[in-house]
Amino acid sequence: MSLNNIRININMKTKSLIFAALFICCGSFSRAQTSITVAAGDNAANPTISKYIYSHFAEHLGHGIYEGFYVGDTSHIPNTYGIRNDVIAALKKMKIAALRWPGGCFADTYHWKDGVGPRDKRPAIINKWWGGTVEDNSFGTNEFLNMCELLGADPYISGNVGSGSVQELSDWVNYVSSDSKNPMSDLRKANGRDKPWKVKFWGIGNEAWGCGGNMTPDYYSNEFRKYSTFMTNWDNDNRIYRVASGANSDDYNWTETLMKNIPNDLIEGIALHHYAIIDWGHKSSATQYTEQQYFATMKSALYMDTLVTRHSAIMDKYDPKKKVGLIVDEWGGWYDVEPGTNPGFLYQQNTMRDAMIAGATLNIFNNHCDRVRMANLAQCINVLQAVILTHGDKMILTPTYYVMEMYNVHQNATQLPLVVKSEDYILGLGKLPAISASASRDKDGVTHISLVNIDPDHAHKISLNLDGKKFSSVKGNILVSAKVQDYNSFDEPGKIAPKEFSGANLKGNNISISLPAASVVVLALN
């Protein structure tokens, strides 16, 4: 090859690199904006975003109850009746709406009378589902319901159908809620509680298609009808809300069968379980994951919108007036346990990926609040996508906690419909909507808009049109970190926390926003 040819090849290569750089640079500047239109005007027909969408789940699993919520009243860790004071304060600040207990799979092995009365006389059992550990039943019904009072949260009790009986569950209802004289109210009084707690929410079994008994939908429908009949009460101050064990993810036949077979006067809610997971056999690390694993997890999380839409459509066929609520009482990210921990304890760290899952999923629930009446993140403390992690007397708040806290402005607010035309988050040949959003107006007239950018590499420009109402000011908070793999640790508990957001510019009826990569923002408009 001649010297001239070498020069020509070098020049051509240099030009190609220059053109490629210009293309990339110009492409980043010319990235089309995401557009969002919010119907911000007053509309009496708009549904309310139930506060119960912001509910949680606490199973007798790993260190969720023991060493999480409950340390016992002799612990050196500051507590009230054995419940950690720092946990109480944090969950009240987050505005926990309801707490589901005692499971999960554990519920269908749990016999509630083992967990009442003097603690030294309560029998111990083996937790067959989660690690084979000894459950001493020191945390039972009284402890749970007293804790809910401390938290200001409604209890949601999951009853034992798999290994229990109709009589057992009916007795439990009377123990916690009956104000008349009967054997169960007498037992409650003998155990130190005079007035009933008036528990409204009851799950009739858990995952009846799996660990709750491996039932068929037809069989479970008949079981539900039987249990529900004997759980009926006529107390106008505490009408029981009975939740059927619903579908596993996209098992639409399960929902169809239950809606077809169960009369509307025997059911108030039907559950749905879906976890953001790559593959049950090959999960990812909670912290050391690749972008491909991140993308796959987010794809699974965003599938929640399809699930809610399709299950709701089936429910609409049988219940056009939307009397029966869709109760998504298990959701969240599921990864490998932390190295060196008991595999049966499901303890995992919580990164900005979990913040993305939480923000995007809550937006989905807000936007479907005409049918979604409750959702319970799995789980509250030290298990799966926890909002709190504890270690001895230390406690940290996770990125998921801060998303739930930022979003609590939507609780019991009026939903504002919106249309999102999102740019894509692209990885290889795959693409997902980068931006999700939901909006509401609270009782004081403040409009809140929550925004999530799941793209871990690119900020996205958003043009947000406010249709039907004038606003004079906008302010906001943001949750963001340098990397999507970042998390709060016991050594660095404050690494990730909400900060003031100044990237929203209001002009007339439009807000222009630059939403950083992998971030969650909540705006307040007046």
Q: pLDDT tens-digit profile of 126-147?
A: 999 999 999 999 999 999 999 9
pLDDT per position as a tens digit, 167-222? 999 999 999 999 889 999 999 999 999 999 999 999 999 999 999 999 999 999 99
The three-class DSSP label of residue 350 is: coil
Contacts of 342 (CB under 8 A, 6+ apart): 62, 131
- Given a cut of 80, whether residue 20 has pLDDT beyond it is no
Here the tokens at position 126 are 């083996």
Question: Residue 108 is which amino acid?
Answer: D
**Pairing status of strand 55-57 against strand 372-378:** parallel
For tokens 């023991």, the residue is 66
Which CATH superfamily is 31-45+417-525 part of? Golgi alpha-mannosidase II (2.60.40.1180)
Q: 361: closest CA among 410, 320, 395, 314?
A: 410
Q: 243: closest CA among 261, 258, 260?
A: 258
Same fold, 31-45+417-525 and 48-412: no
Q: 510: closest CA among 453, 448, 462, 475?
A: 462
pLDDT per position as a tens digit, 500-513? 999 999 999 999 99
| Model confidence band, residue 31 (pLDDT cutoffs 50, 70, 90) | low
Position 234 scores a pLDDT of 59
- Given a cut of 50, whether residue 25 has pLDDT beyond it is no
Segments in 319-398 forming alpha helices (H): 352-367
- Identify the CATH number of the domain defined by range 48-412: 3.20.20.80
Check residue 70 and report its DSSP letter: B
Check residue 27 and report its DSSP letter: H
Q: What percentage of the chain reaches a pLDDT higher than 70?
A: 93
Contact criterion met (CB below 8 Å) for 130 and 346: yes
The three-class DSSP label of residue 449 is: strand
Check residue 508 and report its DSSP letter: T
CA-to-CA dists, residue 275 to 20, 396, 482, angstroms: 41, 23, 26
For tokens 């959003």, the residue is 437
- CA–CA separation, 489 and 512 (whole Å): 35
Q: Where are the beta strands (DSSP E) in 277-318?
A: none
Count of CB atoms within 10 A of residue 195's CB? 9
All structural domains of the chain with their residue ranges: 31-45+417-525, 48-412
Position 233 scores a pLDDT of 65
Active site residues: 207, 330
Between 329 and 281, name the one with better pLDDT: 329
| Residues in the chain, overall count | 526
pLDDT per position as a tens digit, 72-120? 999 999 999 999 999 999 999 999 999 999 999 999 999 999 999 999 9
